[in-house]
Structure formats: structure tokens, C-alpha cells
């Protein structure tokens, strides 16, 4: 399903923690965030990483592929985002040929 109008994950989220990086790194350039639009696109920024996403929606999960930059090097990957309780978004993000991380976020 491409259109995500009824998905609770849609919106802008403040990334607050990660299993691979500390908070200081997450907010290195700007406050860390991930944002999901309702028409199949989104974007994120944390540390030195920025990316644009193409999203697929189910009722409670968003799956995405992404392309972006990490310290000015081109990177890409995929991931998913799901609300783990009534207030926390859990994001799994994978870098192609590289790291996998779990991020946690709260609604912006």
C-alpha cells in the first residue's frame, strides 16, 4: 500500500537514542529526526547522515528504502519504523554493505 493516510507513524519524529551512537553524535549537525509523509516519501537526519526515503505503508508499520549522504559520501539502504508502545517509534535502519542500527524516537 503506497498511500499511508491512516498510518499512525506518519509525521515528524525526534530521534532520542540509538544502539550504535550516543546522543551527542545523533544531534551533531542538527536535532536528529525522521519524518514520514502520507504520499510515500520522507526524510531523516542524524549525526552526519541525511537521507530521503521512499515508503510503503501497512496499518502500523512503514517500510522504506533510502538514499543519502554520510559525511558527504553517498550511502543507501532500507529499514522500517513501528510504534512499539503508545509513544515510542522504533526504527530499524540498514546501510547497504554496512551497519544496522535501532533508533528510538518520540513524536516531534
pLDDT value of residue 6:
77
pLDDT value of residue 5:
63
Report CA 50 to chain centroid distance, whole Å: 10
Read off the C-alpha cell for 63.
517500510
Domains and CATH numbers, the chain: 11-107 (2.40.128)
Q: How many residues does the chain have?
A: 108
pLDDT in tens, 95-105: 998 899 999 99
Question: CA-CA distances (angstroms) from residue 59 to 5, 65, 70, 75, 108?
Answer: 9, 18, 31, 28, 21
Give the torsion through C-alpha atoms of 56, 90, 96, 21, to 10 deg: 150
pLDDT in tens, 45-94: 999 999 999 999 988 899 999 999 999 999 999 999 999 877 899 999 99
Nearest to 79 by CA among 106, 58, 104, 101: 101
Amino acid at each position: 500500500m503506497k498511500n499511508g493516510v491512516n498510518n499512525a507513524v506518519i509525521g515528524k519524529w525526534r530521534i532520542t537514542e540509538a544502539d550504535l551512537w550516543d546522543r551527542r553524535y545523533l544531534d551533531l549537525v542538527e536535532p536528529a529526526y525522521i519524518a514520514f509523509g502520507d504520499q510515500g516519501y520522507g526524510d531523516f537526519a542524524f549525526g552526519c547522515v541525511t537521507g530521503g526515503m521512499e515508503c510503503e505503508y501497512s496499518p502500523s508499520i512503514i517500510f522504506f528504502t533510502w538514499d543519502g549522504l554520510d559525511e558527504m559520501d553517498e550511502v543507501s539502504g532500507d529499514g522500517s519504523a513501528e510504534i512499539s508502545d503508545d509513544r515510542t517509534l522504533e526504527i530499524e535502519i540498514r546501510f547497504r554493505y554496512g551497519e544496522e542500527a535501532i533508533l528510538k524516537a518520540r513524536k516531534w
